[in-house]
Structure 1
Amino acid sequence: MQEISPISKFNELFSELEDCDEDEQRQKIEEMNEIIDKTNGKEFISVFSEKLFNKINTMIEEKKLLWGNAILLLKHVGFWNILKAIWICGFEKSLLIKGFEKMIIEEEKKKEEKDENYLVDLCECYLMHLSLQPSELFSICVPCLLKFALKKEESKETQKEVEITLLALSNIDNYELKKELFLDEIKEIIKNHQEHYNLTRLAYQSVCAFLVNRFHCDYREMEDLIVNELHLVKEATREMEELISFEEYEGESEEEKEESEREADEGYILIRWLCISDDLFCCCGSWNEDILGLMKCVTGVYRATNEWCNQIGDHCFYCFKSVGRRIEGYDLLLKSGAIDAVLKELWRKTLYQDIFRDFLMSFANLWRSLDEKRDEEMEEKKRKVMKRKILERLEEEGFEDCINRFRYCVFVRYFDTFLTNGTGIYDVLL
């Protein structure tokens, strides 16, 4: 007998929800959530379409699905939507988003009858399923969730609830928010954790991500707070170093590791810290020893993980490219060992061809920037020193001619043709 696939099982359970009472619905949704935990990105996207969200909305309107049970499912979906960075768009196109907006506004307007926990659940689900569009309800959702996160008792039982709340807030991308909506509360949450370590790894990463997302909109005023007062450059470095060391799990048996309730998969959290690091490299006005320490850390993550996790390696490379956009960034790349790490990576025959091309393009752009004439005499001297050092690295690894051939190729688009036809760039350039 052929075994039923997880997606088919999920759809089967979903189709049975209409004919169940409240307790049976909850039990089936818990089974569905377990299936969600095991799905990959392609499967996840195939299930949570606009059609499914519209069906959920219809079931709620016809009172065949209770709001509480719908939230149990949607909150779990939202958690993985954000953590795995899958970005399903069906919710925003569906009628269900209007239902959530209506419920949030109605619950917020209540006075004595207001159910604060219910409003928190609605706001969490709503924010978790937004992708890249701003919302007028930020002014309701943000203060509501921050208030909830601050008043919760510091216990293991409530840590997961706070984690979900802060993860939902971190999904608000770099839209302008009025500082009075969040600033004092965010500072309090971050400082409290730095003193007492009361948040899970994911919760702390999420609250830092929320603040750094505001960096893009107001980087001149926010830099002193983020870099000097809250020390988030150092914090990002420390968190990533701990994540790749895995020292906290030494001495545990395999059985003990499985039984331990880990806050979330370390790889996803590491990628999220790399995204924060990329933002810090882009937005920080001055690069000091802390920034150098962060770049050394990113290089260490790259060396430690790139052979077994291409996704983590790619995010490290995004950081390298961000730093390389500024002339002073080349010195940072040299001192941190990033250029050496990238050059060593280029010799790996298993490297994806498009990544290989990106590496070469970055070096070509770097070379062009170093060839440009600068007005200030000191800057010109630094540029020449950096160019000499990078040239030495390229010569040592045997890539000088390769980079130059790539650089002076008239029709760079031909490399796409090579990829399409299966011709290896290694064979073309090396």
Structure 2
Amino acid sequence: MSIRNDNEFTVVIHEMTLTGEFSKLFNELDGCNEEGQRQKIVEMNRILEEMNEKEFISIYTTELLNRIDKMMKRKKVSLENSFLLLTRIGYCKGLVGLWSASFYESSLYNRLNNMIFIEARKIEGKNENLLISLCECYILLLNHYWKMSKGLLFKSVNCIIKAELSKKEDEKTQKEVEITLLALSRIDAHIRMKEDIYSTKIAEIIKYHQEHHNLTQLAYQSAWEFLMVLYKDDKCLERLIVNELHFVREATRELEELMGYVDWKKSKKAKRGKEMKDIRIIERWLDTIYIIFLQCRLSDEEFIRLASCVKRIFRAASDNHRGIRRMCIRCYLITYFNRAVKNEALLNGGAVDVVLEEITQFDIDNLHCLGCLSFFKSMCERLKTTVEPEEKRANGKEMRRKALKMEIFEKMEEEGYEDYIFGLFHCLVNGTDDLFILFENLNDCFVCC
């Protein structure tokens, strides 16, 4: 006889209640007038925001989107009500970061695609509000990395970016702006966005918020994320991001505030509503920090401040949020490719401590282990001297290098890093090729070499 934990039972019942209630309301839409449909959709939207990822995935299906498309085609539901529901579905999908083929495989995909194309081509009688709603729905529902027509993309972005992002601070306007900016942040990062108006407009939005605090936390993060999409192909934006908009100051402040909202002792599965949303925003900030650590040249002071903030998130998430822990590690590991990041900054920012702790976890997989070991191998390579003898005596670089080398080695020795490496090497003689190759020259894995 099996015994079911009361808390688990409560969660299961709640999941059944939310998904069942959503389905019940959706099935009732056909028999309502426009106002009745609107009331039910408002309630459905509330339920969507309470769902966890598992619940949302269970209702976000090609079948659901096809049914919405049929209702639109037969005019069983108005365009306004359709967009009210679809925008919230896309909003939840964007917040979760879900990758799903449901939209692309649905008849709704072709409908929205054609409606945007037709409305955008109109010279007279163009309905800008309709076009904005269409573009927001389309981009929010589309997968982040799926290619779309560049022409259609630019039409969509132009339409959204020109939307009146009101400076008002009332709740309704804030929500509309939040959805608009979330849609922009979902733009495929692989498509080059050449127009200067995009970065100029987003920079204006960020600066205005810094003075007037008119955006929600998700909207503000989304504005930064869209700027990072533009920055990916434009090195000139680095000065804007780091020096003019002060990314490090803003990101650390936002993350410190968000961390205070979360009950970290509670399991991620038990979080709902606002608390679950706060977790999602923290994860989105970590994705943005990943890009910063990969591409930007921060001062040592700024890097240490940001790396220390990531360390605090790692510590807070240690018990119940394995995914966030790995995202923090990922931010540190990517510095392997950014030669502007110095070993001193990695040490003082806590990166060495955190990666050492992670690498000895019993449940670490081979790929993650390979990344952690490569991090230390990179540090060792950076500590190798390339300074000429005369220059060593002249500027004291060699003395500083040796002192740093000794400090890192002592820290690794305290954590039993060398014993761990030898033990892992013997376990991998017949194991993963990539890890075995990394260990072919064991001396490269030690700072003391």
When the two structures are superposed, what TM-score results if normalisation uses the length of structure 1? 0.82
Q: 1:84 aligns with which of 88, 96, 119?
A: 96
Q: What is the CA–CA distance in structure 2 between the aligned matches of 1:315 and 1:404, rounded to whole Å?
A: 27
Q: What are the residue-to-residue correspondences of 1:160-175 with 2, within 5 Å?
A: 160-174=175-189, 175=191
Q: What is the CA–CA distance in structure 1 between the aligned matches of 2:355 and 2:52, rounded to whole Å?
A: 29
Partner of 1:212: 228
> How far 1:100 sits from its partner (Å)?
1.1
Partner of 1:334: 347
Q: What are the residue-to-residue correspondences of 1:237-386 with 2, within 5 Å?
A: 237-246=252-261, 265-285=277-297, 287-326=299-338, 328-344=341-357, 353-354=363-364, 360-370=369-379, 372=381, 376-377=386-387, 386=404
Q: What is the CA–CA distance in structure 2 between the aligned matches of 1:134 and 1:62, rounded to whole Å?
A: 30
- Given that 1:323 and 1:330 are in contact with CA atoms closer than 8 Å, whether structure 2 keeps it comes out as no
Partner of 2:87: 75
Partner of 1:406: 424
Partner of 2:42: 30
Aligned residues: percent identity?
38
Kindly provide the amino acid, as one letter, of the partner of residue 332 in structure 1: A
Q: Judging changes above 3 Å, is the alpha-carbon distance between structure 1 residues 112 and 153 closer, same or farther for their aligned structure 2 residues?
A: farther
- Given that 1:146 and 1:182 are in contact with CA atoms closer than 8 Å, whether structure 2 keeps it comes out as yes
> How far 1:288 sits from its partner (Å)?
3.4
Partner of 1:423: none
Partner of 1:143: 158
> How far 1:176 sits from its partner (Å)?
0.9
- Given that 1:163 and 1:200 are in contact with CA atoms closer than 8 Å, whether structure 2 keeps it comes out as yes
**Structure 1 stretches lacking a partner, 5+ long:** 250-260, 417-430
- Given that 2:333 and 2:375 are in contact with CA atoms closer than 8 Å, whether structure 1 keeps it comes out as no
Greater Cα offset, 299-308 or 273-282: 299-308
1:321-366: CA deviation from partner (whole Å, max 9, x where unpaired): 112444645433211122223434566xxx56136x5664344223
Q: What is the CA–CA distance in structure 2 between the aligned matches of 1:344 and 1:369, rounded to whole Å?
A: 18
Kindly provide the amino acid, as one letter, of the partner of residue 214 in structure 2: N
SS at match of 2:236: helix
Q: Judging changes above 3 Å, is the alpha-carbon distance between structure 1 residues 288 and 272 closer, same or farther for their aligned structure 2 residues?
A: same
Q: What is the CA–CA distance in structure 2 between the aligned matches of 1:8 and 1:245, rounded to whole Å?
A: 33
Q: 2:250 aligns with which of 228, 231, 235?
A: 235
1:278-299: CA deviation from partner (whole Å, max 9, x where unpaired): 1100111455321221111111
- Given that 1:200 and 1:263 are in contact with CA atoms closer than 8 Å, whether structure 2 keeps it comes out as no
Q: 2:407 aligns with which of 389, 398, 413?
A: 389
> How far 1:210 sits from its partner (Å)?
0.3
Q: CA RMSD in A?
A: 3.2
Q: What is the CA–CA distance in structure 1 between the aligned matches of 2:257 and 2:94, rounded to whole Å?
A: 22
Q: What is the CA–CA distance in structure 2 between the aligned matches of 1:191 and 1:60, rounded to whole Å?
A: 40
Q: Judging changes above 3 Å, is the alpha-carbon distance between structure 1 residues 370 and 159 closer, same or farther for their aligned structure 2 residues?
A: closer
Kindly provide the amino acid, as one letter, of the partner of residue 225 in structure 1: L
Q: Judging changes above 3 Å, is the alpha-carbon distance between structure 1 residues 263 and 47 closer, same or farther for their aligned structure 2 residues?
A: closer
1:150-206: CA deviation from partner (whole Å, max 9, x where unpaired): 345443431111111111111113121122351221121111111222111111111
Q: Judging changes above 3 Å, is the alpha-carbon distance between structure 1 residues 127 and 383 closer, same or farther for their aligned structure 2 residues?
A: farther
- Given that 1:91 and 1:97 are in contact with CA atoms closer than 8 Å, whether structure 2 keeps it comes out as yes
Partner of 1:186: 202
Q: What are the residue-to-residue correspondences of 1:54-69 with 2, within 5 Å?
A: 54-69=66-81
Partner of 2:109: 97
Kindly provide the amino acid, as one letter, of the partner of residue 177 in structure 2: V
